[in-house]
Structure 1
Amino acid sequence: MHALEKILAKASGKEDVSAGEIVNAKIDLAEVNDLYLQTIKSFYEMGGDKVWDPSKIAFVLDHYAPAPSILSASNQKEMREFVWNQEIEHLFDVNTGVCHQVMVEGGLVYPGMILVATDSHTTTHGAFGAFGTGVGATDLASIMLTGELWFKVPEVIKIEIKGNLKRGVMAKDIILHILGELGTDIAVYKAIEFTGDTLKNLNISERMVLCNMTVEMGAKTSYIQPDEITLKYLNDRGIKDFKVFETDSDFEYSEVYQFDISNLEPQIALPHSVDNGTDIGNVKRMKVDQVFIGTCTGGRLEDIEIAAQVIKDNKVNKKTRLVIIPASNEIMEKAVEKGYVSTLIRAGATFSSPGCGPCLGTHQGLLAPGEVCATTSSRNFPGRMGSTEADIYLVSPATAAAIAINGCIADPRDYLKI
């Protein structure tokens, strides 16, 4: 069996499972974000009174943080009251950050667990050897009621990544390149495992980026085998009570792909699809109105650090806006301590409070018709960040910073000379 199959087998009380089999698995953590008040309504509609285990449920108010409208404020008010009335232990309010970051920082994510959340990018947690997946409101409501959910055991695709990244090239560039090669439907209801020697040089933040965007290929979940990097991160967080599952040597993957990224250049995904990617050098130097560094694919400490390194003593172009939103309050605090925030503010950046921000097109930096945005977020569909008549380009934090300086498409390697 694959490690993911062993996780499902353990959670469903079986000795073994195989691809295509339907299992009913016990959930280790269920998370609801502030887009899904319907989860609470469905819970009561299903006859719910008390949640099955208040210690295994988390609510994260991150998509509208702080609330930009009366409706979002009212929804958050109802969620807080539900959490308090149900004595749910984990409430991450608008002062904390993006769900996929704050759950990790809160010590709630670990190898071998099943984490289900009302967010498609829950595949992020495969970076820790967890089975993470997103569901809708009614599925999450049924978990709050019973602590269980059915799954079809997914086939597993292996993506082996070899080679060392060049300076100025990041995990975001790797996954945009892979998406460009494999497309957005290669892994529908399948799992993706990342392997290869490149991973040895990728920290947890970069691994989270890879796993996060597997959902853009249709993946049900993702996986990276926990190693020394994983275990050190968990140990530093005081997380020690878990079991690491290993894939059997004779396991047969449904598909295997190999990528050598030794000569990979910074990538950019053109409107309006995540798999519409190319080398940065292939794109004309068009004007960019806004640059956004943040979200669950670009708002971590390392991302803000590389942005500060690229910009240094330069200034943001006078005709371009640079919006930066850290993925969590902890990241914001560390970025302040290390001087990254002051460097970027002096350059002309605007910082907003931790959360999802304009990624979902609700507040903190929406786009007007005809505008162009280069962003570290995960999707570039029409209307994703505001007007349906705006164009969104996906890039790494390093590339985003270079674009902010130039006010047009630019290569970060020009600013990272050794």
Structure 2
Amino acid sequence: MTQETMTFVEKVLSRCSGTAARAGQIVEVRPDFSYSHDYASFAIDAFREMGARAVVNPGRVCICLDHGVPANNAKDANNHKKVRDFAADMDLARFYEAGTGIAHQVMLEQGWILPGALCVANDSHTCSGGGIGALALATGETEIGFLWATGRIWFKVPTTIRIELVGEFGTGVYAKDLMLYLIRELGVLGALYEFMEFHGPAAARLSISERFTLCNMSAEVGAKGAVFPADEITRAYVGNRGRYGWDAVQPGPRADYSRVLTIDLGDVPPMVTLPGMEDRGEPVDAVAGQPIDQVFIGSCTNARADDLAIVARILHGRQVDPKIRLLVVPASREVMLQATQAGDMGTIIAAGATVMPSGCAVCAGGHQGVLADGERCLSTSNRNMPGRMGNKNAEILLCSPATAAASALEGCIADPRRYL
């Protein structure tokens, strides 16, 4: 095996393991960076049960509280205190207090997730970091505890799917629609423990936020992760953010892929995923008019400044249907400031939205915006299995921010194209 035949994931895992990593092998690696959130509490338990007394390389470890923020009961408050105390005692690089934002977004903004770096966290949507050209891999709380105690962790090297993006989006179609379309085509286990590389002329035009959305939801086809290898858009975003040195990694020109898929963005309509499974996507015009009770615009998938700008454009000068609860949660405090300075938050609030602190909020289902029995929520988040939003007797549908905003106005699932 040579550099010319290696995929992106094989190259990064080879560097971090000091060996030639091939698909199917198990390699022990030293990640460049790791992070956690509220569930760091469980990693701390594992860390202590191992008898560890100090975190290895604490300058490359961060924690950001984001799931249950602000704490809504004594149990959560005590959990947060435990995490805060650990971060201080271990002199971790940074502890980001509740309200800073969703950990995946914050680590990107703050320059901890970088091109070519191996970044590890105990959350299935760690894969979002692929949007900036990182190898961002999820693991469990016990494994994160072991990583903090030893500086090492192991992974099985995945095979890789190459996805070529061509064409252009039509009006009212966005990266979220593309991913819902791709999930429908592949199925929820269609890329089980594989890795996804996005390439092609259309991929090169996508913003970091759009790439983040696509990599984020690679978890919904069972993938280990996804990446947009770094390019000029990546370098422009990173700028002076980087907290440590980095080198962009490109797959070899003769990399060995398990398969190659080509998607024409012009074939993708605005999508809505029906309740139950993430691969139940339908074109919006096939389900328009279906009733909903709540609209959630937030989560690590779709709550950045560009998403909120789209929402504000649709809501401007209009009012949310009185039957609808529109909940908006910016992905981070930085995003909220950007959207406020642009005037978008004012437009969204004036239209009748309820804005909540930056964090996971409704998406995680344990805090804020829980649904009642029989209610339906149209959401810009990433998962729609029963109980995801805190009530197994409620239903969740997925869509883009544009479709969410249009639907909030009409009080039912609506096509955003009439507003754009």
The whole-number CA distance in structure 1 between the counterparts of 2:99 and 2:399 is: 27
1:95 Cα deviation (Å)?
2.4
Q: Is the 1:101–1:296 contact (alpha carbons within 8 Å) kept by the matching residues of 2?
A: yes
| Partner SS for 1:37 | helix
Structure 2 matches for 1:4-403, cutoff 5 A? 4-14=9-19, 16-235=20-239, 237=241, 241-403=245-407
Q: Is the 2:218–2:225 contact (alpha carbons within 8 Å) kept by the matching residues of 1?
A: yes
| Partner SS for 2:72 | coil
The whole-number CA distance in structure 1 between the counterparts of 2:92 and 2:131 is: 26
Match of 2:415 in 1: 411
The whole-number CA distance in structure 1 between the counterparts of 2:161 and 2:81 is: 42
Report the AA paired with residue 379 of structure 1. Answer: R
The whole-number CA distance in structure 2 between the counterparts of 1:187 and 1:146 is: 31
The whole-number CA distance in structure 1 between the counterparts of 2:126 and 2:64 is: 13
| Partner SS for 1:184 | coil
Note the residue ranges of structure 1 that are not aligned, 5 or more in a row. none
The whole-number CA distance in structure 2 between the counterparts of 1:270 and 1:95 is: 31
1:3 Cα deviation (Å)?
2.1
The whole-number CA distance in structure 2 between the counterparts of 1:278 and 1:128 is: 29
1:287 Cα deviation (Å)?
1.8
Q: Is the 2:178–2:265 contact (alpha carbons within 8 Å) kept by the matching residues of 1?
A: yes
Note the residue ranges of structure 2 that are not aligned, 5 or more in a row. 1-5
Report the AA paired with residue 392 of structure 1. Answer: I
1:236 Cα deviation (Å)?
5.3
The whole-number CA distance in structure 1 between the counterparts of 2:265 and 2:173 is: 10
Q: Is the 2:384–2:398 contact (alpha carbons within 8 Å) kept by the matching residues of 1?
A: yes
1:238-261 deviation digits (Å, cap 9, x = unpaired): 568311122111112011111112
Q: Is the 1:322–1:350 contact (alpha carbons within 8 Å) kept by the matching residues of 2?
A: yes
Match of 1:2 in 2: 7
1:353-399 deviation digits (Å, cap 9, x = unpaired): 10000101112211101111100000001011122111110000010
More deviation, 390-399/31-40: 31-40
Report the AA paired with residue 281 of structure 2. Answer: G
Structure 1 residue runs of 4 or more that deviate by more than 6 Å after TM superposition: none
The whole-number CA distance in structure 1 between the counterparts of 2:32 and 2:253 is: 27
Q: Is the 2:318–2:409 contact (alpha carbons within 8 Å) kept by the matching residues of 1?
A: yes
The whole-number CA distance in structure 2 between the counterparts of 1:224 and 1:252 is: 17
Q: Is the 1:234–1:240 contact (alpha carbons within 8 Å) kept by the matching residues of 2?
A: no
1:36 Cα deviation (Å)?
3.7
Q: TM-score, normalised by structure 2?
A: 0.97
The whole-number CA distance in structure 1 between the counterparts of 2:290 and 2:67 is: 30
Of all paired residues, the percent bearing the same amino acid is 42
Report the AA paired with residue 269 of structure 1. Answer: T
Q: Is the 2:288–2:414 contact (alpha carbons within 8 Å) kept by the matching residues of 1?
A: no
The whole-number CA distance in structure 2 between the counterparts of 1:392 and 1:295 is: 14
Report the AA paired with residue 330 of structure 2. Answer: P
Report the AA paired with residue 89 of structure 2. Answer: N
1:326-371 deviation digits (Å, cap 9, x = unpaired): 0000011111111111111111000001000010111221110111
Q: TM-score, normalised by structure 1?
A: 0.97
Q: Count the aligned residue pairs.
A: 415
More deviation, 232-241/371-380: 232-241
Match of 2:3 in 1: none
Q: Is the 2:230–2:250 contact (alpha carbons within 8 Å) kept by the matching residues of 1?
A: no
